């Protein structure tokens, strides 16, 4: 009897939409441009006679618009849950993008199960960063999940969240410049980030069922 070969893990359209959202947030930060403007550019380019980019999926656009609107409050929440010896601004930009996508889903999109947002974020991190980065992102999101109801309640009053935050999220003055990062991003290469092509939109439930089938 021939040995059974493991099948490659399949991902649903929601996972691909999340990956592309990470790509766009990463690109926007690298170029110092508005991620919403990148979405608009992608829409235009996808309508060309010979399109050089894939159309942007509806859920990718929903994530990008949501993160753009809630960015300041979202960053406060993320900052509260990363290591005391580090800051959000000192994370590798790809990890920051992954955390923002997952954080937005957990707090602002109740239709997505919290566990799904975490699992998908860790999977994306495993592809774009490394094992240590995946573990760190997992721990950060798990900490947020443990108090997600409180975060959602606080998110309803962003002015209060921002008023109670530190003077500057980007200030590194309280941290040792020689501190060692709690992750390893040495495997990450910015040139390796490529946009994925999304298929038709599907629910997270159908994506989960596809992955279960692939693993059986």
Q: What would the DSSP string read from start to end of 137-157?
A: HHHHHHHHHTTHHHHHHHHT-
What's residue 9's pLDDT?
A: 56
- Average pLDDT of every residue of the chain: 78
Residues in the chain: 216
What's residue 202's pLDDT?
A: 45
What's residue 12's pLDDT?
A: 82
Report the predicted TM-score, pTM, of the whole model to 2 decimal places: 0.75
* pLDDT surpasses 60 at 106: yes
Q: For residue range 77-100, what is the model confidence (pLDDT) as tens digits? A: 999 998 666 778 888 999 999 999
Q: How far, in Å, are 124, 159, 205 from residue 119 at the CA level?
A: 9, 30, 13
The larger pLDDT score, comparing residue 114 to residue 44, is at 114
Instruction: Work out the average pLDDT over 95-115.
Output: 97
What's residue 144's pLDDT?
A: 96
Question: How many CA atoms, within 13 angstroms, populate the side-chain half-sphere of residue 141?
Answer: 30
Q: In sequence order, what are the residues at sequence separation of 6 or more whose Cβ sits closer than 8 angstroms to the Cβ of residue 155?
A: 70, 73, 77, 107, 108, 161
All domains of the chain, ordered by start, with CATH? 13-168 (1.10.940.10)
What's residue 53's pLDDT?
A: 75
What's residue 214's pLDDT?
A: 42
What's residue 166's pLDDT?
A: 54
* pLDDT surpasses 90 at 70: yes
């Amino acid at each position: 009897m021939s040995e059974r070969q493991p099948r490659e893990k399949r991902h649903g359209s929601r996972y691909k939409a999340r990956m592309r959202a990470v790509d766009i947030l990463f690109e926007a930060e690298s170029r110092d441009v508005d991620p919403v403007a990148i979405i608009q550019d992608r829409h235009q380019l996808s309508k060309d006679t010979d399109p050089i980019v894939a159309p942007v999926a509806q859920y990718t656009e929903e994530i990008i618009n949501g993160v753009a609107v809630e960015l300041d409050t979202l960053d406060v929440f993320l900052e509260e849950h990363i290591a005391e010896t580090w800051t959000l601004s000192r994370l590798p930009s790809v990890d920051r993008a992954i955390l923002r996508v997952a954080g937005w889903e957990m707090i602002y999109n109740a239709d997505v199960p919290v566990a799904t947002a975490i699992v998908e974020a860790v999977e994306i991190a495993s592809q774009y960063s490394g094992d240590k980065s995946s573990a760190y992102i997992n721990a950060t999101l798990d900490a947020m999940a443990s108090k997600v109801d409180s975060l959602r309640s606080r998110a309803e009053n962003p002015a209060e969240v921002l008023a109670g935050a530190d003077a500057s999220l980007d200030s590194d003055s309280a941290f040792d410049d020689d501190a060692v990062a709690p992750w390893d991003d040495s495997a990450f290469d910015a040139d390796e980030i490529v946009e994925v092509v999304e298929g038709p939109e599907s629910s997270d439930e159908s994506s989960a069922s596809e992955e279960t089938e692939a693993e059986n």
